[in-house]
Structure 1
Amino acid sequence: MNKQRLNKLLKEMERQNIPQMLVSDSAAIFYLTGKWIHPGERMLALYINLKGSHKLFINELFPVQDDLGVEKIWFNDTQDAVEIVSKYVDKEKPMGVDKNWPARFLLRLMELKGGSTFVNGSAILDRVRMCKDEKEKDLMREASRINDISVDKLIKLIPEKHSEKKMGQLLLSIYEDLGCEGHSFDPIIAYGANAADPHHEIDNSTVKEGDSVILDIGCRKNSYCADMTRTVFYKHASDKAKEVYNIVLEANKRAIDVVKAGVRFCDIDAAARNYIEDHGYGKYFTHRTGHSIGIEVHDFGDVSSANTDRVQPGQIFSIEPGIYLTGEVGVRIEDLVLVTEDGCEVLNKYDKELMIIE
């Protein structure tokens, strides 16, 4: 296991008086061991104990040969996997449990473990994962660099008038050509009125003159996720569309300008939201300003009015204000930022000034 990451987890477990934990989420196990295991409906659990008696419980269907730095306990489909786990855990002490562990496993362990206390242990690991180490920062920089190249290639395809669905397929080919594992999420490619739907699902629509075109895309490179959004216009943009675009762009810039260690997430959200509200479009900014990102495209934590946590160095999250006028125009501009002691590093370098594609 990654000793540095494990030690951070153990230190936080000790601080919160949680002596043992079961981690089942594949992304969290990858974070600690460097190995992806996708068990489907079968049980997978990494047992972490302050005493150091760590175990990985894994089905024989997944013959992991790598030395993961943790003892593997094997089981098969005919065995009661949770009963095997129960033989190794301390039945007298509280147990942290992964928030994603299926209820059928947790309820069985509760039955076998008697009256012991169970708590959501994911909150500990989620917060440890929020602050990226130096290797992770470099991986995120690389994923964003590739995403910048990819959005440029995709924008240049707009005049060919492919459908949204075809553009998504072409984007996947672009990512594969650039050595990525694929999309980090299903891309949002939205033309015209579709751009006014923040989570539009790509369809067979084609671009028309005067359309705003939202390209919300992300690749996965070396198991780390990129995410960015650029909005461009085809052939021309109305005065109203230009006004909306420039308001969103300024909101994006203002939010980025306030990012630094110690600032509250809600204040970053306010920097973008207040500007949009002051220009009369507040009710058309219908989502939070951003979300954390790393191994998963939506890691724990967000940039919203409800999050009063203070930003810490090493955190990476999106800044993505938007305005969506139903039936007219939609604009979203998104960058990823890496928090430093006195500001932030913007990971996306691709131009975001108003762009009209001929």
Structure 2
Amino acid sequence: MRVSSQVNDMVMEKLYRHVADGLTEQGVADILLDEYEKAGCDGVSFDPIVGYGANAADPHHATDKVTRGKRGDSVVLDIGGVKDGYCSDMTRTVFLGEASEKAREVYHVVLEANLRGIAAAKPGNRFCDVDNACRDYITEKGYGQYFTHRTGHNIGIEDHEFGDVSSVNEEVIKPGMVFSVEPGIYIPGEVGVRIEDLVLITKDGCEVLNRFTKDLLVV
């Protein structure tokens, strides 16, 4: 999982700049597939999500062959490859040309929620505690209605393995587990932001497997 995530970090570093190239969402996804092949991956963990603008505000958007980005768009990049039999998964959100004051506010709320979720990811806590850490903060900041999915999922040989990070999962977290922490805010027609990391549970906390920056990037 570490190696697979390291490869994903390297691929994201090459990929995100291409959102400013005037390509369609699928055009960016095609570059992603090429980069995974160059990195020796055995394909993708799941169909990648590239979402510009309004499409970024749909958490389950299917990458399309028509939409191109425009200045001010948030761009969601949800990517994962298979390396040495293990899946990776990471989401970053970047901005095209500029980020509005509202977009920056939303971004930093999601980032703080992500960090709080990671802090709650430790042995003895429950999966619902991680979800609550993210969800309660987003709700406190006034965006609760726009966080419309569970906080994460288990991952390993398959991209979605049994178990999830949700408000109803009271299973206790144990060392060796690997799962995603991926809060998001999706305001229809305005902005969508998701930040996702994989965490490996250790004996006293967790190791964040993704190292690609979570600074707000404008390209």
Shorter-chain TM-score tier? over 0.9
1:171 to 32, 44, 59: 32
2:4 maps to 143
1:267 maps to 129
Residue 110 (structure 2) pairs with residue 231 (structure 1): no
1:216 maps to 78
Does 1 or 2 have the higher relative contact order (CA < 8 Å, sep 6+)?
Answer: 2
1:192 maps to 53
Return the alpha-carbon distance in structure 2 between the equivalents of residues 189 and 304 of structure 1.
24
2:217 maps to 355
The TM-score normalised by the length of structure 1 is: 0.60
- List gaps (5 residues or longer) in structure 1: 1-139
Return the alpha-carbon distance in structure 2 between the equivalents of residues 269 and 246 of structure 1.
18
Return the alpha-carbon distance in structure 2 between the equivalents of residues 300 and 325 of structure 1.
29
Percent identical among aligned pairs is: 59
Residue 20 (structure 2) pairs with residue 159 (structure 1): yes
1:332 to 194, 204, 211: 194
- Deviations, residues 3-23 of structure 1 (Å, cap 9, x unaligned): xxxxxxxxxxxxxxxxxxxxx
Return the alpha-carbon distance in structure 2 between the equivalents of residues 344 and 298 of structure 1.
19
Q: CA deviation at 1:182?
A: 1.0
1:41 maps to none
Residue 158 (structure 2) pairs with residue 277 (structure 1): no
1:4 maps to none
Return the alpha-carbon distance in structure 2 between the equivalents of residues 350 and 209 of structure 1.
24
- Deviations, residues 295-347 of structure 1 (Å, cap 9, x unaligned): 00001111100100000000000000000000000000000000011100000
Residue 41 (structure 2) pairs with residue 180 (structure 1): yes
Return the alpha-carbon distance in structure 2 between the equivalents of residues 175 and 355 of structure 1.
22
2:113 maps to 251
Which runs of structure 2 are paired with 1:124-135 in the superposition (5 Å)?
Answer: none
One-letter code aligned to 1:278: E
Q: CA deviation at 1:214?
A: 0.2
Q: CA deviation at 1:184?
A: 0.6
Return the alpha-carbon distance in structure 2 between the equivalents of residues 177 and 329 of structure 1.
33
* Aligned partner of residue 331 in structure 1, secondary structure: strand
Return the alpha-carbon distance in structure 2 between the equivalents of residues 259 and 159 of structure 1.
35
Q: CA RMSD in A?
A: 0.6
Q: CA deviation at 1:156?
A: 1.7
Return the alpha-carbon distance in structure 1 between the equivalents of residues 130 and 19 of structure 2.
33
1:76 maps to none
Return the alpha-carbon distance in structure 2 between the equivalents of residues 323 and 155 of structure 1.
20
Return the alpha-carbon distance in structure 2 between the equivalents of residues 157 and 265 of structure 1.
35
Q: CA deviation at 1:157?
A: 1.2
- List gaps (5 residues or longer) in structure 2: none
Q: CA deviation at 1:243?
A: 0.5
Q: CA deviation at 1:222?
A: 1.3
Residue 176 (structure 2) pairs with residue 318 (structure 1): no
One-letter code aligned to 1:148: D
One-letter code aligned to 1:182: G
Return the alpha-carbon distance in structure 2 between the equivalents of residues 287 and 257 of structure 1.
20
Structure 1 moving runs of 4+ over 6 Å: none
Return the alpha-carbon distance in structure 2 between the equivalents of residues 354 and 327 of structure 1.
20
Return the alpha-carbon distance in structure 2 between the equivalents of residues 202 and 271 of structure 1.
30
Which runs of structure 2 are paired with 1:58-69 in the superposition (5 Å)?
Answer: none
Return the alpha-carbon distance in structure 2 between the equivalents of residues 158 and 193 of structure 1.
15
Q: CA deviation at 1:259?
A: 1.2
